[in-house]
Amino acid sequence: MPLLHNRVSNEELKQLLMEEKDPRTTISFYAYFVIQNPQEFRDFLYKNLNALKVFGRIYVAKEGINAQISVPTIHLEKFKSFLYSIDPLDGLRLNIAVDDDGKSFWVLRIKVREKIVADGIDDPEFSMENKGKYVNASQMNQLLEKDDTIVIDMRNHYEYEVGHFEHAIEVPSDTFREQLPMAVDMMKGNEEKNIIMYCTGGIRCEKASAYMLHKGFKNVFHLEGGIINYARQAKEQDLEPKFIGKNFVFDNRLGERITDQVIAKCHQCGQPCDTHTNCFNDGCHLLFIQCSSCAEKFDGCCSQECKDTVHLPLERQRELRQGLDNGQKIFNKSKQRLRPRLDEMNGL
């Protein structure tokens, strides 16, 4: 039986990726469809994708599949042929990365989960069959010109911070499961208005649109293929992009530039900057925005304390890390930004 898991260290895999000479293409895709045996489907995927040297992160659940991967460009057509040989995925839209250096992933990981998007929904009446209407880039721009249109960003606060659509409303939360009921509460009184949901690649806003309809909203839309597909369509059709700044992505790049505007600030000195990084201290790894000057000043760390730590002997660093469980550490200013935005919506 073939090995269905990676057994090589991350450090070695990263080094092998950096030494690769052949180009890679970064792709994301998702589909909501019923998978009777997710573990069996997961193993089937791993065997075939590993043979094509595909890297990336894929989640499989009874409700469908969610994938962010990089494919050797030379194997791109073989990959498509395999993917489209699976009936529910035949002809599926693939989001090709906009700003891609091919170094997005260095290993293939496919995991079985309860859901492909953790939503916290336990209402048995909820169904993904009734979802909002798709809008493409041109339709998105047209709707954005209308006074009765409300645009809701269904991404995390740190994604919104570096880039978003003009006048988009942030739902300030660390998790999608928290955002869904928050979005409903924030939109009360706007049940008849045009509401557009968007996210990075489409998977979150598609489910969010179905949830809003389930909660009684009438005119709900969601951006087909998310920001990634919007940026590609806008470029191909020579449309004026209404998305400003950078699109955060969940791979080694941590972002792809959509427009030249830099709308965020360095979390350490306050200068314009939209470069996300993880604190260089292995005992911290805080995700935050850091300019090149502060990166040099703090040796890639988020604080003087972490800088001091990384200069300690390795054995002492390991001792300090022992027993730590930081979870997902992310610099968050979104809650402070919420009140002025809500006041603006309510005319205060």
Contact indicator for 261, 245 with CB cutoff of 8 Å: yes
Q: Residue 126: which of 63, 187, 205, 211 has the closest Cα? A: 211
Does 93 score more than 80 pLDDT? yes
Domain 133-240+336-345: which topology? Answer: Oxidized Rhodanese; domain 1 (3.40.250)
What does each C-alpha distance from 229 to 136, 138, 249 come to in angstroms? 8, 12, 13
Residue 19 has pLDDT above 90, yes or no: no
pLDDT of residue 340: 41
Find how far residue 242's CA is from the centre of its chain: 19
Residue 174 has pLDDT above 80, yes or no: no
pTM, two decimals, is: 0.76
Q: Give Cβ neighbours of residue 206 (< 8 Å, ≥ 6 apart).
A: 32, 128, 131, 132, 222
Residue-wise pLDDT for 112-121, tens only, equals 999 998 899 9
- Split at pLDDT 50, 70, 90, the class of 336 is very low
- Count how many Cα atoms sit within 13 Å of the Cα of residue 177 in the half-sphere of its side chain: 8
Q: How confident is the model at residue 13 (pLDDT cuts 50, 70, 90)?
A: low
Q: According to the per-residue pLDDT averaged within each range, which of 137-141, 156-160, 198-202, 253-257 is highest?
A: 137-141
Mean of pLDDT values over 324-348: 45
Q: What is the pLDDT of residue 150?
A: 95
> Residue 110: what pLDDT?
96
pLDDT at 175: 87
- Inform me whether the pLDDT recorded for 17 exceeds 80: no
Helix (H, G, I), strand (E, B) or coil at 125: coil
d(CA 175, CA 155): 8
The whole-chain average pLDDT of the chain stands at 86
pLDDT at residue 147 tops 60: yes
SS3 217: coil
Mean pLDDT, to the nearest integer, of 197-202? 92
Burial zone of 34 (CB within 10 Å; 0-12 exposed, 13-18 middle, 19+ buried) = exposed
269 carries an active-site annotation:
no
Which residue is catalytic, options 199, 205, 284, 301? 199
DSSP letters, 302-318, are SSHHHHHHHTS-HHHHH
pLDDT band at 3 (very low <50, low <70, confident <90, very high): low
Virtual torsion, Cα 212, 214, 219, 224, nearest 10 deg: 60
- Residue range(s) in the chain whose domain bears CATH number 3.40.250.10: 133-240+336-345
Query: Domain 10-112, what fold?
Result: Alpha-Beta Plaits (3.30.70)
> CATH 3.30.70.100 region(s) of the chain?
10-112
Largest Cα separation within the chain, whole Å, is 66
pLDDT for 91 beyond 50: yes
Averaged over 316-337, what is the pLDDT? 61
**C-alpha neighbours within 13 Å on the C-beta side of residue 341:** 16
- Predicted confidence at residue 105, as pLDDT, reads 87
What tokens does 63 get?
């409700």
Percent of the chain having pLDDT more than 70? Answer: 86
Q: Is 300 left (phi over 0), alpha (psi -120 to 50) or beta?
A: left
Q: What is the mean pLDDT of residues 317-344?
A: 54
pLDDT one-digit tens code per residue, 241-273: 999 999 998 777 888 899 999 999 999 999 999
**pLDDT-derived band at 127, boundaries 50, 70, 90:** confident
Q: What would the mean pLDDT of 118-137 be, rounded to a whole number? A: 91
For residue 255, which of 281, 290, 299, 207 has the smallest C-alpha distance?
A: 290
Residue 326 has what pLDDT? 52
Rounded CA-CA distance 159/331 in Å is: 11
- Dihedral, 191, 192, 194, 198 alpha carbons, nearest 10: 20
What's the pLDDT at 96? 86
Distances (CA, A) of 178 to 145, 174, 208, 344: 29, 8, 12, 22
Average pLDDT, integer, range 141-159 = 92
